[in-house]
Structure 1
């Protein structure tokens, strides 16, 4: 879901895959670790083996939309004026020209994809998703995925190897795994993913905010236990939540997680819940949260199981409160009777009260 490309016309003439995937990844994600910030790009192409009908690109840094481009206007649009000022006119013009050149690259991809297809005039939808996330150890992690007509085509896995899911993808393997492409990706990542991201973040005016974490324990009537861990109010959006027991990450149980969702104030929210079967307690379970503003991973234990109060204890407590209130009310009424001379059972009308006032 994030990255870019670089134009190499001479290589395309020799039959290589052109700049379409120069942008694909630099280093794989290593271990369980939340990123500082996230840079995402999505390319969407619609065309045949003979023509490119539509081509769009959207670009995000965290929750900030940076660029939008479509084939119809052939113009790279910065979503905010400050983005153009921060990156500079020359960069905008350079990137726009690359996008125009890359229309040819995507068309080359479609032709190669459909070279053995007798229905070359059939519309094909190609999507390229790229996500780059600078990690705490200064490396850059990437997720790269190519899809054709909504089906996985190929992607770069967590250890930096390409996985190919369609037979047609095998023909692109030599290009994707070549040293030339590896060097081009590294060069691109330094210029765009890391450098441009830093520029956007420096000028965005957004301040990092740590998450406010809440851990809840709930036991259902059937004995099923649900543990919920929610983090809210944090920025940037990259965060990692997971459950562990002791030093072991919990892989058992029924687990669910919300996506990272935006709050109204521009911060983010995420929740992870695990359901334990009857007989399994939540003892020693902990929610681990990793976010840039926490410095290191923070551990939030499950609160102690609340003690069940007996029904008769609750009943006696309520009865005692009722008796106390009634006693106070009776004492108040008797006091009024002594001071005014009215009987408890008599009604003091406004006329009676006025006569008392006149007499005194």
Structure 2
């Protein structure tokens, strides 16, 4: 991919940037530049460019506003102790965007072009990648996304598509230490069904989770748990995270994919836990198995994972008229989380070949 670069003439000054990076939050501040590329059936992907970060001008008839034809990814860049900057499994994000694009009838962006686009923008805005000291977990969150940018009203795949990458510095997800999240079991709403878009990373999946998340928060919970749409008995995922269940014999179960998002962190934990000596099984996992397993002590830990939080222990599960308490331990959860972030931040050897140096 040929990428042109127009550098901003109004960069955020060093003093203001230092303030932002000291307490970046999540998704609040954005870097000085953004990357854009266009696609049409005749020209394919073209006009890839880095320009100053700024608003988009869209026709009111832009297809994505009416038919939600879009996909996105979420990933991070990490600054290591020597000042170098690395990404974590960018090829996996590229491959997932390909799968999402097929499901949303969008053009495919090749893996090499995806990685090049992400890495080029991060290198241009490398001063925005936070430093970390001690056990710090600040990073640069990267949001590649693709949307139907043709101006038309009609239900068909768009003939003009735009791919973009923006970046935002991110602080540690947990301030003051990792804390278990309480979960609300929604028995009214589902997120995906067989043949649907559950395995695609597209905005509609997240939009459909919001009302259930509101319900969870109204019940004093942090996140919502979705069950399968067909039988309403199998655990699928949270609003934005995949799930793992640890048993008293050291084995681990995670809900099988097909109608849920195939998380990059999820697949990494399968490898990592296996290397740590734990058998990981992907299968259907019933809500009754969760309730009974915690009550009997067979399930000793439950955790969730995703790009933002990495790994978080799960506390109690609540539903209308009932509650099951938090499992007894977070020991393995803590070990897995620490092992993963140590690889990402360069504090441990990357024996999996997951990290890619950007600059």
Both structures adopt the same fold (TM-score exceeding 0.5) = no
Higher relative contact order by CA 8 Å / sep ≥ 6: 1 or 2?
2
Q: Please tell me whether Structure 1 or Structure 2 has the larger radius of gyration of its CA atoms.
A: 1
Q: Give the structure with the larger helix fraction.
A: 1
**TM-score, normalised to structure 2's length?**
0.28
